[in-house]
A and B are shown apart, each in its own frame.
Chain A
Amino acid sequence: MEKGRGAGYGVYVAVFAALLVLTGATVGVSYIDLGIWNVAAALLIASVKATLVALFFMHLRHEGRLVWTFALVPILFLALIIGGTLSDTLFR
């Protein structure tokens, strides 16, 4: 770990706790029928968890513009695969 980059243990424990709470939320939401929003809710919670892991455990919040670019570009491609596939499934 680079000097000065590590946050205190408190931050890591707090993030870990947040991840556990969000995991519980995923399980909880699965018992409530939201219709077509079931998938959206599960994906939203999962995205928040992934963001926390990337920002804190993977130190993304300390990184410069280049690393941020490489971290964000794949999200564009994820949107693309979902959007392209929906252009098929929604209009069949």
Chain B
Amino acid sequence: MTENTADGTMLSGGGRSRGYLEEKGFRSWALTLDHKRIGALYLYTTLFFFLLGGIFALLIRIKLMYPGQEIFSNHTYNVLFTLHGSVMIFLFIIPAIPSGLGNFFIPLLIGARDVAFPRLNLASYWIFVAGILVILGSLLRPMDTGWTFYTPYSAKTAANVTLLSFGIFLVGMSSILTGLNFIVTIHTLRAPGMTWHRLPLFIWGMYATSIIQVVATPVVGITFLLLAMERLFGVGFFDPAKGGDPLLFQHFFWFYSHPVVYVMILPAMGIISEVIPVFSRKPIFGYKAIAYSSLAIAFIGFFVWGHHMFVSGMSKTAGIIFSFLTFFVAVPTAVKVFNWIATMYKGSITFESPMLYSLTFIFLFTFGGLTGMFLGALATNIHLHDTYFIVAHFHYTMVGGTVVGFLAGLHYWFPKMTGRMLSEKMARWGWLLTFIGFNLTFLVQFYLGFKGMPRRWAEYPPQYQSLNIVSTVGSWIMAGGILVMFSNFIRGFFRGDPAPANPWKGLTLEWQTASPPPTENFEEIPVVTDWPYGYAKRKTAGPPPRFFDRGAGDG
């Protein structure tokens, strides 16, 4: 907590240097080449869409509370769940951690002054914005296909499929450029002494993520181009009447969209790997296992896309192969979970808000992962496919996993990014409400799905109503938690206590520079002499061991 941390280290709020935030004005932000400012721009943008997507979700839940009542039309309902999925996936979850926190912290964590290609970095942000504008333009005739754009419906509907998919094409291009930038940055700009096995685990997660972004994203771009050619020029890639194959779309789409699940989760796992040792005051357990399991997840993630298609009419042979391969993903994922738990074992654990979110991640993500086993098995999949069981499963992985991991990162790095502390009390209230609300919303959906309630339907038989009311009330509690959390961010940004350089006593490099960091990140590029998890064992007195040699004058 804040009161325990002020130990005379550099305070940078309250009239002191505002670091990279010093320069003001539109141009200084719009044309900035500073990775921290570009990261901040991504964060503002993605957080806005997080709130917008959340409003769509609340509307969906209100409709589902009263089946049979015309709160809004079924078509509007279809549009709302399409928008909720598309906005949350493409404009929030995919870019939030990699492009937002990744941009801000990769150079800081590896001891670099910036990313390898700062201009490309700025370009990727503005391409992202261009994609958003195109997507917003498509709302004039909004999509009702769901976020997966499945053919043949997406090839025929009057909605603006071509425009929306072009917008996502642009957003994807921005994602490729960012991934490319990060790969080159991690290869070429590591501080002296920062060997691969001294890299913070967030960097390993981001490295694996970047590879997926570069390899997988072009496939969805091509798929949308094929869809556009089918819609605009009548080329029959997916239309059986013209010799096409509608399942081909699903193969292409999921070849991208399954690995992209790991673009969402791997950076979050990286954040958890940073937070757990800091708040357990123990060296991370199984460093290499965690590092290489990130690469393993990225690799295996490319082999399992067919498990989204078990009941689509795909061949049984393919079903058996993809089901078999799907279970392999559980291995590196479990390796991480067990190593985090082993890290905490006999540690001096404290429960500040980043740690609360990290523990929540482990708890909820394990739920999400294990229910994935039911879905990966061919027989149970037939019963559970297209039910609320799947909705609950992927919300446990994507919200319980990625979003909670992102929130852990925001709370953990907020002092570094802004130079100000959050109110710990408000942060805990925000966490508690979000945790309760989330579980209330989605835990009952496992049961609803198991009992057969189909997903995507605006209406449903009356026996499901009582649990749907529970779910909707849960969504309000969760919204309340997020409201408290955002109020805390805004309050903290303007009026929070000045943050010391290293409020959590972390050993990674970002904590060895001022809060907020100066534009050039470090007065002198640090020389790294050890790994970043050398926390003193339990009950050892004295200051934490030094991770690197510092230049003079650095607090």
Contacts and interface: CB of A to CB of B under 8 A. Distances in A.
A69 B191 CA distance: 24
B302 A89 contact: no
Interface magnitude class on chain A: 10 to 19
Contact of A81 (B219, B247, B318): B219
B448 to A, nearest CB: 31
B285 interface: no
A88 B247 CA distance: 9
A84 B305 contact: yes
Contact of B315 (A73, A81, A87): A87
A2 to B, nearest CB: 16
Contacts of B322: 84
Contact of B302 (A77, A88, A92): A77
Interface string B214-225: 011001000000
B321 interface: yes
Interface string A56-84: 00000000001000100110010011001
B496 interface: no
Contacts of A87: 306, 315, 317-318, 321
A91 interface: yes
B215 A88 contact: no
Contacts of B446: none
Given A80-B303, A84-B305, A89 B219 contact: no
Main SS of chain A's interface residues? helix
Given A73-B215, A77-B215, A88 B303 contact: no
Contacts of B306: 84, 87-88
Give the one of B252, B303, B318 with max A CB within 10 A. Answer: B318
Interface of B: 183, 187, 215-216, 219, 245, 247-248, 251-252, 255, 302-303, 305-306, 309, 313-318, 321-322
Nearest to A92: B315
Given A74-B215, A77-B215, A85 B248 contact: yes
Contacts of A70: 183
B525 to A, nearest CB: 23
B219 A88 contact: no
A84 B316 CA distance: 13
Contacts of B315: 87-92
A87 B247 CA distance: 13
Contacts of A85: 248, 251
Given A87-B315, A91-B317, 5 more contacts: A81-B252, A84-B303, A84-B305, A87-B318, A88-B247
B215 A84 contact: no
Of all A-B residue pairs in the complex, the 3 with the closest CB atoms, nearest first, are: A91-B317, A91-B315, A88-B318
A88 B246 CA distance: 13
A18 B216 CA distance: 31
A42 to B, nearest CB: 16
Nearest to A88: B318
Contacts of B255: 81, 84
Nearest to B321: A87
Contacts of B303: 80, 84
A70 B313 CA distance: 35
Nearest to B219: A81
26 contacts: A66-B187, A74-B215, A77-B215, A77-B302, A80-B303, A81-B219, A81-B251, A81-B252, A81-B255, A84-B251, A84-B255, A84-B303, A84-B318, A84-B321, A84-B322, A87-B306, A87-B315, A88-B306, A88-B314, A88-B315, A88-B317, A88-B318, A89-B315, A91-B315, A91-B318, A92-B313
Nearest to B184: A70
A89 B245 contact: yes
A91 B316 contact: yes
B317 A80 contact: no
